[in-house]
Amino acid sequence: MTIAVVAGLLAILPFVGAAPFTITLLTEGLIFAIWAMSLDILVGYTGLVTFGHAAAFGLGSYAAGFFAREVTTDFFVTLLFAEVVVIAVAVTIGFVVTRVSGIAFAIISLCIAQVLFQIAVAWRDVTEGMDGLVGVPLPKMFGVTINAGTELYLLTVVTLAAVCIGLRRLVESPFGRTLQAIRTNEDRAAAVGINVRLNKWLAFIISWAVAGVGGTLMVFLKAGTTPMSLHWTESGNVLVMTIFGGLGTLFGPVIGAISFVFLRDEFTTRFEAWQLAFGFVFVVVVLAFPTGLAGIIARVWRSLWPVRS
């Protein structure tokens, strides 16, 4: 319900005078939000910190971009193709990496993402190397072209809402609780009969699949992608957005992603130290507010409207 209201409010923004530039920026923020939520499933709910989540997003971009250029620009077919590729890779990689946890998982996921990055650089026939895929055409839906700007923005809002609803259901389901149990203590989870590896594997695949949706939208927004979309520093960025927004909350990462995009825009136009400011805020959040922005908002909310009992 809340999701529908928020999505509705977002959807009318272009018609109440929001500047085209703001809309484009917001589109990017909402796409990042999808990506950050997918990361929250892994990091916030399952407790698997990854420095390789750019791989899922970038792979979705490459697959969708390649397909849109070579085969068809139909949004649904392109998305389907991208998802098949992303899920196939996630099934393979996930099977192996979910054998481990903690630091080992973080570093291995980083290494594997770098493998994809290097492949994107080296496999020039398909990826066009360092130049990346350029000139990806706009998507079509039911034969009608989705134009850049408002139309692509609305598509993003609808997709984000669908992802929100789906993931909200997921984390409230028995499976979602299972993941939280694994995050809290893998041994204890195994002792209540949870197949830890299987569940981590499923979480990994779901997380990648959702990130692939974001990657697909992004390749249409940017009309292309480069290997940098797979680079581990991008993985770091999405981790920053997610933690900044608040792990294990789903709505936190949405706020985190949107503020990331706008803060970055604000800082880079004003002065050059945006990394300094953002790094500082991030460190403070990790050190002092492990629940992120979402936690701070929740606290303020409760102090304004205390629950009477």
Partner 1 sequence: MASPLVVRELSKDFGALRAVDGVSLEIQDGQVHSLIGPNGAGKTTVFNCVSGFLRPAGGQVLLDGLDVTGWPAHRLVAAGLARTFQITKVFGDLTVFENVALGARSRLGRNLQMWRDARNVADAQAGAEEILDMLGLAEHAGANADHLAHGDKRILEIAIALALRPRLLMLDEPTAGMSPGETAHIGDLIRRIAKHTSVLLVEHDMEMVLGISDEITVMTQGRVIASGTPDAVSRDPHVQDAYLGEVDVMNL
Partner 2 sequence: MNFFFVSVLNGVVYGCFLLLTSLGLSLVFGLGRVVNFAHGALYALGGYALIVGMHGAGAGYWPALILAPLLVVPVAILIERVAIFPIRHRPEIYTLLVTFGISFMIVGAIEYAFGTGTTLLPPPAPFVTTVDIFGNQYPVYRLLAAVVSLFVSAGVFAVILFTPVGLRIRAVTDDPGMAEALGVNTKWLLTLVFGCAAGLAAFAGALGAPIFAVHPEMGTNILLDSFLAVILGGLGNLAGSVIGAFVVALAKSIGGGYVTDWSIAVLFLVVAIALIFRPTGVFGRGRVA
Smallest gap from Cβ 93 to partner 2, in A, equals 9
Q: 10 Å Cβ neighbour count for 199?
A: 18
From the list 34, 37, 89, 181, which residue makes contact with partner 1 (rule: CB under 8 A)?
181
The answer to the question of residue 4 lying near partner 2 (CB under 8 A) is no
Smallest gap from Cβ 278 to partner 2, in A, equals 6
The answer to the question of residue 302 lying near partner 1 (CB under 8 A) is no
As to burial, measured by CB atoms within 10 angstroms (0-12 exposed, 13-18 middle, 19+ buried), residue 210 is buried
Beta-bridge mates of residue 144: 141
Binding piece for partner 2, criterion CB under 8 A, among 116-124, 172-180, 209-217, 298-306: 116-124
The answer to the question of residue 307 lying near partner 1 (CB under 8 A) is no
Give the single-character DSSP code of 46: T
The answer to the question of residue 115 lying near partner 2 (CB under 8 A) is yes
Q: Which is nearer to partner 2, 27 or 98 (CB)?
A: 98
> 236 touches which of partner 1, partner 2, none (CB within 5 to 8 A by kind)?
partner 2
| Separation of alpha carbons 33 and 39, rounded Å | 10
Calculate ∠ Cα 66-138-151, nearest 5°.
Answer: 140
Token match 């493998």: residue? 115
For 62, 126, 220, 290, the CA distances from 69, given in Å and listed in that order, are 10, 11, 11, 43
Q: 10 Å Cβ neighbour count for 82?
A: 27
Question: 110 is written with which tokens?
Answer: 């980083």
The answer to the question of residue 286 lying near partner 2 (CB under 8 A) is yes
Binding pattern for the stretch 84-113 against partner 2, x by CB under 8 A and - elsewhere: ------------xx-xxxxxx-xxx-xxx-
> 199 touches which of partner 2, partner 1, none (CB within 5 to 8 A by kind)?
partner 1
From the list 243, 254, 261, 293, which residue makes contact with partner 2 (rule: CB under 8 A)?
243
Q: Does the CA dihedral 208-291-282-18 come out positive or negative?
A: positive
| Separation of alpha carbons 61 and 51, rounded Å | 18
Q: Does the CA dihedral 162-168-169-175 come out positive or negative?
A: positive
Question: 13 is written with which tokens?
Answer: 């923004």
From the list 121, 196, 223, 228, which residue makes contact with partner 2 (rule: CB under 8 A)?
121
The answer to the question of residue 196 lying near partner 1 (CB under 8 A) is yes
Segment 41 to 60, residues that bind partner 1, using CB under 8 A:
none
Q: Which is nearer to partner 2, 106 or 209 (CB)?
A: 106
Q: Is the Cβ–Cβ distance between 287 and 54 less than 8 Å?
A: no
Q: How many residues does the chain have?
A: 309
From the list 9, 165, 279, 301, which residue makes contact with partner 2 (rule: CB under 8 A)?
279
Question: 33 is written with which tokens?
Answer: 């939000």
Give the single-character DSSP code of 230: G
| Separation of alpha carbons 47 and 113, rounded Å | 19
The answer to the question of residue 232 lying near partner 2 (CB under 8 A) is yes
> 177 touches which of partner 2, partner 1, none (CB within 5 to 8 A by kind)?
partner 1
Binding site for partner 2 (CB under 8 A): 49, 51, 96-97, 99-104, 106-108, 110-112, 114-115, 118-119, 121-122, 232-233, 236, 239-240, 243, 271-280, 282-283, 286-287
State the residues that interact with partner 1 by CB under 8 A: 169-170, 172-178, 180-181, 184-185, 187-196, 199, 202
